Structure 1
């Protein structure tokens, strides 16, 4: 999911950099008004947890592997604005320190894993919560947001002429359905653990109930 340098043409990465930069700016303004004494330290904890969790890969079909993304978890606990900022912080560190994802592709990676993964994932959770239990909503939002992020990544690569859409889309979407299942199960487990050990963290203003 982390797009490296050279995979996107200039028009695509510049456009996504502008969109993501604007979104992060708006999220920062909202978070600065809403962040309280619990949200700020939790943002740091969440960023550290997601960063560490993304270092661990689990096997998927066909010899490929995937990793936890964490956008839905962050946004459910903190709200979409702070969830986006958490994902942005993780992606920036991965880019500059570990070269995981390219500098020119940073905007695209934030768009895919932050805006789609965290922000859209949050609103997907709210939609699914209206028709199902919390557990079902968490799982569905995690799965769908992962697949949509993979679809967006496929479209970006196709627009840039890197890989034909008819090749990228089924390959990315198919694998990320399985990764999304893992994402959903991990998110459910993490929220369940917090519910037993720190239930107060599930009631932080701005987060989803």
Structure 2
């Protein structure tokens, strides 16, 4: 759902840019508690993993494809505020290095994919966790539903923005139906990927999952007279050293970006498909960095497309994990200074 330059007029792009900047600035101030619990390394790895998996488009039928957006997954792993920073990092790297999404549309993409998917996904997850049994295993179904719902909601938000400042006049009812319909199918793929990834992490290291760290089972205490009482512990699951787990995660991320991405579907994604069908695809303009050495996820000068694609994916992972780690560190420092000043 990467929006290119040209789909929206200047006032709409400026407005979404301000929304995105405000969301990132606010998240930088609020992410410290989450980063203290999960660690900055996990934030960097989550950013790199989302970047890698977004390279893998999966077919959804009728000549179109989709890919993971990742907002709900990131929020479950590292918390909602850190997830906004993670998603913004991914979109920044994609826009600046790979010409994936327009530069003037960067604020729009962060708003749709880096803010709405995180907020909706995490809100649904938290709401369902209140209704489901209070145990770590409940995080997977709750987040899966959040991931499923977040994608068509983001598609509906795109329709709302298009109604305000779309470049080409088209019937909004048709646009809403097409966007939500196709992105419901994309949301199913999002839900499957989210469930698979989160199940693996919860099964091995639940202490690294932000949404699971406060879901300890209730303690049943029995006094000397045999009377029992239930106590709900407030403290989070203590985190254990994560060096080996992070190493496995990094290796998996490189495999996804450097190998699995080579088998991605070549069909256009949901937004491009709808744009072609409804006649506004022609409004898209080339990104200002369309001539980048890494544009379109290939390294210029390398004739072998598979080697070029694999190398581009690996470079993207390295840049994203580094930038994600630096932003997480920055969030920690800003919050620590604010606490000290207070």
Q: Larger relative contact order (C-alpha < 8 A, sep ≥ 6)?
A: 2
Whole-angstrom CA distance in 1 between matches of 2:80 and 2:33: 14
In the TM superposition, 1:188-207 aligns within 5 A as 188-202=195-209, 204=210
Shift, 1:33, TM fit: 5.3
How far did residue 82 of structure 1 move?
A: 0.1
Which range moves more in the overlay, 127-136 or 117-126? 127-136
Instruction: Indicate if the aligned counterparts of 1:17 and 1:108 stay in contact, CA closer than 8 A.
Output: yes
Classify 1:40/1:206 alpha carbon distance in 2 versus 1 (closer, same or farther; 3 Å). Answer: farther
Alignment equivalent of 2:150, drawn from 124, 129, 145: 145
Alpha-carbon distance, 1:125 to partner: 0.9
Deviation at 1:50, TM superposition (A): 0.4
Q: 1:156 to 1:117 in 2, by over 3 A?
A: same
Query: Kindly tell me: are residues 34 and 66 of structure 1, through their superposed partners in 2, closer, same or farther at Cα, counting changes over 3 Å?
Result: closer
> Measured at CA, do residues 23 and 178 of structure 1 come closer, stay the same or move farther in structure 2, by a change above 3 Å?
same
Q: 1:161-209 CA deviation, whole Å, 9 max, x = no partner? A: 334312221111101101111111111111111122323212x489775
User: Structure 1: any 5+ residue segments left out of the alignment?
Assistant: none
Distance 1:189 1:106, change over 3 A: same
Partners of 1:76 and 1:34 in 2: CA distance: 11
C-alpha distance in 2, partners of 1:116/1:23? 10
Q: How many residues align?
A: 208
Q: What is the rounded CA distance, in whole Å, between the counterparts of 1:199 and 1:26 in structure 2? A: 27
Matched, 1:94 2:94: yes
Structure 2 residue 75 is the aligned partner of structure 1 residue 78: no
Structure 2 equivalent of residue 176 of structure 1: 183
Q: What is residue 40 of structure 1 aligned with on the other side?
A: 40
Partner of 2:58, secondary structure, is strand
Q: Corresponding residue for 2:194?
A: 187
Q: Which moved more, 1:44-53 or 1:24-33?
A: 24-33
Does 2:31 match 1:31?
yes
Aligned CA RMSD, in angstroms, stands at: 1.9
The 1:197/1:136 distance shift into structure 2, 3 A limit, reads: closer
Q: Deviations over 1:11-61 (max 9, x none)?
A: 111111111111110000112454227420001100110000000000012
Unpaired runs of 5+ in structure 2?
133-137, 216-342
Per mean C-alpha deviation after superposition, the further-off stretch among 123-132 and 78-87 is 123-132
Contact 1:76 1:208 in 2 (8 A): no
| Higher-Rg member (1/2) | 2
Scaled by the length of structure 2, the TM-score of the pair is 0.58
Give TM-score scaled by structure 1 length: 0.92
